[in-house]
Each structure stands twice: as C-alpha cells, then as structure tokens.
Amino acid sequence: MLDTLQLFIGKFNEYWYLMLIFILVSVGIYFSLRTGFVQVRAVGEMFRIILGRDRVQRAGSKKKKDGISSFEAFAISTASRVGIGNLAGVAIAITLGGPGAVFWMWVIAIIGAASAFVESTLAQIYKVRDGKVFRGGPAYYMEKALNARWLGIIFAVLITFTYGFVFNSVQANTVSAAFQDMFTIEPIVMGVILAVITVLTIFGGSERIAKVSAMVVPVMALAYIGIALFVVAVNYTAIPEIFASIIKNAFGFEEAVAGGVGAAIMNGIKRGLFSNEAGIGSAPNAAATATVTHPVKQGLIQAFGVFVDTLLVCSATAFIILFSGFGTSSELDGIRLTQAALASQVGDWAHYFVAFAIFLFAFTSLIGNYYYGQSNIEFITQRKGWLLAYRLGVTAMIVIGSVAKVSLVWDLADMFMGLMAFINLIVIALLGKYAFAALKDYQRQRKLGQEPVFYADTIPELKNVECWDREPDQIK
C-alpha cells in the first residue's frame, strides 16, 4: 500500500514540477524585466549593504540599536538554503544531466534572484513587531495586503510541516547515514547529537538563531568555497575545457549522459530552483526579521543569497566533480560522488572534510528550517504552548529521522513545497507593484546621495503596514 502511494506521489510530482518550473521561470522573467534586472545591476549595492552591517534605527530615533541585523537575517536564510543538497544534489544533477546542467543552474539562479528580491521586499514592508525583533513572511503579507488570513494560515501550515518537520528529518537522516558509512557511528547517536545542539540553539529564540547562523554560515561557506578555489587553481589549465564542456552540453552540441539537452535543462533548473528556494516563500520569513531603514535593502540581500547558494556553493561542488572526471560514473552518486571527486584532487583527508561539511550544512539547515516554522506558528497563534509543542516536535523528528526510512515523507514534502511555491508565486505576482514602487523610491534616494529611508506613506496604496510610520516630529 505504501509503495503504491509513493509511486503515485512520485509520478504526480514529475508533472507537478514541470508546471511549477514553468511558473517559477515565467514569474522570474517578469520580475527581472519590471525591475530592470536589479539582481544583476545592483550587485555592487548588495555588497555595500551587507558589508555595512546595516542595523540603524529609523531616522530621528536615538534608541539603542536592537534586533537582528541585515547580515544576520541573510545568515538565517542562507543557513536553510545551503544544506546537504548543495553537496549531493549537484552531483546527482551532473550525473543525470551532464555538465550542461551547471549552465542552466546558473541561468535559473540569475532569473530566480528577481523573485527573491520581490518576495523579501514584500516581507519587509509587511513585517510585524515582536518585542525587540520583527517577524513576517508570505503568511503575513497574504493577511495584510490581500486581507486573506485564511490563505496565510494554509501557507503557514504547509511551511511548518515541510520545513520544520519533514526537511529536518531528512537532513538528520542524511547526515546520520553519512557518518555511519564513514565512521561506523550509529545513526541514533548522531540523531541525538544533532537534536541536542539544535535544542540549545532554538530555545534561545530568533536572536540566538541569528547569532549562531551569522557565526557558522560564513565559516562553513568560505571553507568549502576555498577548497573549490584550490581545486580550480591546481587544474587551471583545464578551465577552458571544462567551460567548453558545460556550454556544449547545455545546448546539445555535446550529448548529455541521460537524454541530451533536455536532461541538462531539467536537472539544472530543478537543482537551481529547489536549492536557492527563490520564489518558494521560505527565505522571506528570515528577510522580515532584519532591522533596516528600507525594505529594498533586505530584498537585495536575499537576491544576493541566491547567488551565494547557486553561483558559489553549488558551483563549487560542480567544479570539484567536473575537474575529477567522475561526473559520468555510474558507480557513484550523490554525496559519495562529491567525496570521491574531492579526494581525487586533495587526498584522502577530503573524506573527513566532507563529513565535517555535511555536519555543519545539516546543522545550519536544521535551525534555519526550524525558524521558518516558528515564525509561522506565531502567525497562527500567540499561545506559547503551541510554540513549545512545535520545538519538541522538531527535536523528536530529528531523532526519528536519523533512523527512519523517509523516502515517502520526502516525496510528500516535495509535493507540499510545490504547493507553497504555487501559492506564493501567485501572491507576489499580484503584490509585486509594491516592491517595484519601493525600489523606485530607493533608487531615487540613492541618486540624491542619501541613505535610503522608507515610510509607508511613500506608496499611497499601501494598507495595513505596521512598521514604517513616520516619527511624530517628521509628520508635516
């Protein structure tokens, strides 16, 4: 019975993904055109914001700087984005789609970054106060902008189940299996270890999650990218050949491993979309937490997060595999392919490095995924008991996931994540005009040489906005 159900869900997901990819790409292209490809032309501004540690209060305020910084909010979303899929998923994409999958992975990251900009800008506009910090996300802008709390609740339930429970159990399952293979550590032991360090983080609230993410994510990403750059430097003479292979394979001039250019396109797009999560509606939950002077600042930062995930971390894995020549191996797949490819370039110690990377990638994903659920539990109800129950449920799923067979649950999660994306994409397409207006206001102030500051009355059509009123002495 379960096998039949899993087969049905698997087939359903195949067709569902095709439709979803079409919508994601179409919306991404629309946003790119309407914003003048802001995700490309504003890269310099992204660096200016993220390096500026923008944690200033509203203009005219002399209060202590509280809350979560732009960089910390970026770290939370990156913690969830950058996970085991960046090591294993890219390997699978190359195995099935050939080197050309990498090219389409890059293309979809550039297109998807526009959707990431819009959804995160909207999350900032419609965020709400929660003590010294903020929270928000798709459920919040569905309620406030569309007056559709019922739709927000549906989305909140979907993301809480998908990210808080299912994806966390899958992360725990993957890292436990990997450590059992490499170090013969029993899965239940790794499950308990992951659960303990996760509990110590999540019970400290959103500010502790932000601080831990801000410390771990840069170290994790930079170390992995640094290893990849070393591999590239060692193989610099092969760089033209690798790029030629990627381009030829992407456009069908060189046959892909599993079915030509179609396999390259589908695997590259799927890997890119479901790795960087652009448009799916998850990252806006982290984007809303940032204390910034203008919503567009965090929109740009989250667009940059798409590039970090796909153009940097996923590409790091791709180049490691392609330089090794193991990409077409039928005997290796997933994380084992990544391990073998890196070991062939830097030595056997790479197995231990990948194990360490898996652990860190899994841990940061666990706390990032948890936060998405917390923000949405708090949208549904303010009763503290429900939040405690959610925290205990996440902890239990980490332990259970480390020892359980989760293939059916993973297929269900894919389906529910698709539903999340479908709802969110329709909503941000309807509300995109507010993000476009905010971007226009931001660009106007930057051209005047000002540090952009946003007020809700800048966009007359805005309703039910809580956090962007002028100070009393600024009202004319």
CA 171 from centroid of its chain's CA atoms: 14
| Average pLDDT rounded to a whole number, residues 296-303 | 92
Give a yes or no: residue 271 inside a domain.
yes
Residue 476 has pLDDT above 50, yes or no: no
Helices (H) and strands (E) in the chain, counts: 20, 2
Give a yes or no: residue 269 inside a domain.
yes
pLDDT, residue 186, reads 85
User: How do residues 90-148 score in pLDDT, each as one tens digit?
Assistant: 777 777 777 777 888 888 889 889 999 999 999 999 999 887 778 899 999 999 999 99
User: How do residues 403-427 score in pLDDT, each as one tens digit?
Assistant: 876 566 666 667 777 788 889 999 9
Give a yes or no: residue 172 inside a domain.
yes
Bigger pLDDT: 160 vs 340: 160
72-81, 151-160, 289-298, range with the lowest pLDDT:
72-81
Average pLDDT over the chain, rounded to an integer: 80
Give a yes or no: residue 223 inside a domain.
yes
**CA–CA distance from 394 to each of 80, 285, 384, 456 (Å)?**
15, 18, 15, 37
Q: What's 374's domain CATH number?
A: 1.20.1740.10
Q: Per-residue confidence at 11, pLDDT binned at 50, 70, 90?
A: low
Give a yes or no: residue 97 inside a domain.
yes
User: How do residues 210-263 score in pLDDT, each as one tens digit?
Assistant: 777 777 777 777 887 788 888 888 888 888 888 888 887 777 655 544 455 555
Give a yes or no: residue 62 inside a domain.
no
pLDDT, residue 59, reads 37
The Cα–Cα gap between 473 and 3 comes to: 66
pLDDT, residue 428, reads 95
Domain that holds residue 39: 2-56+67-474
Work out how many domains the chain is built from and give that number. 1
High-pLDDT (> 90) share of the chain, %: 21
Give a yes or no: residue 61 inside a domain.
no
Q: Per-residue confidence at 82, pLDDT binned at 50, 70, 90?
A: low
The Cα–Cα gap between 340 and 351 comes to: 8
Bigger pLDDT: 14 vs 261: 14
Tokens for 297? 């600042």
pLDDT, residue 239, reads 83
Helix/strand/coil for 99:
coil
Give a yes or no: residue 144 inside a domain.
yes
